[in-house]
Structure 1
Amino acid sequence: MRNPKEEMFRIADPKMILKARLSAGETPIGALVRMPSEDVIEMLGVAGFAFLIIDCEHGPADVVALRRHITVADLHGMPVLVRIGEGENALALRALDQGAQGIIAPHVDDAADAAALVRAVHYPPYGQRGFATYPRAGRFGTVPAEDHRRAARETTLVIAMLESPTAVDNTEAILNTPGIDGYLIGAADLAAASGPDDPPVPEAIAEIRRRAAQIGSIRTDLVGDARAARDARAAGAGLIVYNLTQALMGFFGELTDLDH
């Protein structure tokens, strides 16, 4: 006889799990969304995007709106990663409780920062995240505690943003930290933080990628158009993410060019 609680526990479906798709060798294509709009989320789902990053660092971080966005994305089979602000452990917990499948954290500069991030994202004994099964991620308490704990451990992606000369120097230490699955280079912040004695930003980015490839860490690339997406895939990116704002503004620029 089928157990309806087990049927509700859809987390077992590997097609819905971003981490499982990466382990299977897929290169999912996603979108970075800053604008609080459920219509945008639904359009991206209809368009066939594989996952979303919802930006709560440089975009609104209203947890109620975030929950609605995650729910709409889930209905379209799009896992959600949430980019939190620096040190926003409470937001990481709430995002995961509402069904996000991972956290992207900015300004991870060394192994201590990486270990603190892992502690914030994972339940004991791997971390210090507060445990509860009654939020949305636990199917409102219908998932047995041990199943919920196991699923969280197996499916949660943790992506560290490397965006300073210090992070470049500590690439191996950061990415070798147990529980750190991958990285995203914050090129703009890296440029802002680099001084005259630091390597040029393109060289620093190349060095991060060289070291990360040796470790086998998941590379996440932000792109603005299809050509950049193809280049990222050819270069070994595991997650390819369209910066929706950049793509839209580029499109709008093409439209205004028609007047000239």
Structure 2
Amino acid sequence: MTARGTPHRGLKRRLADGERLRGVLLRLPSETLVEMAGVAGLDFVVVDCEHGPADLTLLQHHLTAAAAQGLDVLVRVGSAEPALALRCLDLGAAGLIHPHVDGPEDARRAVAASHYPPLGERGFATYSRAGRFGAVSAAEHVAASRETLVVAMVETRRACDVADAIAGTEGVDAVLVGPADLAADCGFPEPGVVDALASRAHDAARAHGRAVMAIVPGLDAALAAERAGARLVVYNLAHVLLDTLRSLTAPGTADSTGDPV
């Protein structure tokens, strides 16, 4: 965790320095939850614009709240949405999570949407929020953009089969297995099948020096993922909140006076 008041180091730099980082996946539009994540000492927030509302005004509010807490924000964009990727980065996202990367061609497209030339094809602008509204030079803005984190989501059996080529694509920084889509693609087999495919993708990521990202439902799963080598652990906040609310309805739950609720 980064101590407040220290110079900000982005996620890409912190991964290069060997850190393990924890964040939360946020689908519910709420700047307050972003602020709470920062107060709690988490390292980053993932805003889901694939399965959550892809409203760019709301996203900017979340990014502003995160910046006030020293949090980096990754945005999960929908597949084949380079225009959305561009706008998320212009608003100041620290990186993008690209879903449904099924092969090296998809990985190259994800990198191209995430970076300026020569590595990518992102449209250049310095008068965006990411360019501090024109307050930085073009050279400074380009240098900062090189810290953009690119995460490839592997979500099918085919993607797992070619995970080595995906992870080996220049510009891919991390690999995230989407277990729900992977299970659906495989016809919802026994859990061991999905686990074996995910392990194959994780091994490929580590072989190429890429970070493994894992989405988890709680602390025990986070610790297990880190023991297995995950460098970026993301709590599914909807799962955490729902479990917490359910626990409050358990029989025998008492209020602060000790009286049953």
- Tell me the equivalent position of 1:86: 79
Call closer, same or farther: CA 1:251–1:102 in 2, change over 3 Å: same
Q: Does 1:160 align with 2:161?
A: no
Query: 1:112-145: CA deviations, max 9, x gaps?
Result: 0000111111111111110000011001001100
Quote the Cα distance in structure 1 between the aligned partners of 2:100 and 2:239.
22
Query: 1:210-256: CA deviations, max 9, x gaps?
Result: 22222221100111111111111111111111110011111122222
Question: Per-residue deviation at 1:40?
Answer: 1.1
Structure 1: gaps spanning 5 or more residues: 1-12
Give the percent of matched residue pairs that are identical in Structure 1 and Structure 2: 48
Kept in 2, the 8 Å contact 1:16–1:79? The answer is no
Quote the Cα distance in structure 2 between the aligned partners of 1:184 and 1:22.
15
Q: Does 1:193 align with 2:215?
A: no
Quote the Cα distance in structure 2 between the aligned partners of 1:18 and 1:109.
25
Query: 1:21-71: CA deviations, max 9, x gaps?
Result: 111111111111001011111111111111110000010010011011001
Q: Does 1:122 align with 2:115?
A: yes
Call closer, same or farther: CA 1:166–1:132 in 2, change over 3 Å: same
Quote the Cα distance in structure 1 between the aligned partners of 2:240 and 2:195.
22
Alignment match of 1:141 (pick from 113, 127, 134): 134
Q: Match of 2:42, SS?
A: coil
Kept in 1, the 8 Å contact 2:183–2:189? The answer is no
Q: Does 1:57 align with 2:50?
A: yes
Q: Does 1:176 align with 2:168?
A: yes
Q: Match for 1:178: what amino acid?
A: E
Q: Match of 1:242, SS?
A: strand
- Give the superposed CA RMSD: 1.8
Quote the Cα distance in structure 1 between the aligned partners of 2:84 and 2:251.
43
Number of aligned residue pairs: give it.
247
Call closer, same or farther: CA 1:196–1:161 in 2, change over 3 Å: closer
Kept in 1, the 8 Å contact 2:175–2:202? The answer is no
Alignment match of 2:208 (pick from 215, 218, 241): 215
- Misfit runs of 4+, over 6 Å: 196-199
Structure 2: gaps spanning 5 or more residues: 1-5, 254-261
Kept in 2, the 8 Å contact 1:15–1:21? The answer is no
Quote the Cα distance in structure 1 between the aligned partners of 2:171 and 2:130.
20
> What is the TM-score normalised by the length of structure 1?
0.91
Q: Match for 1:115: what amino acid?
A: R
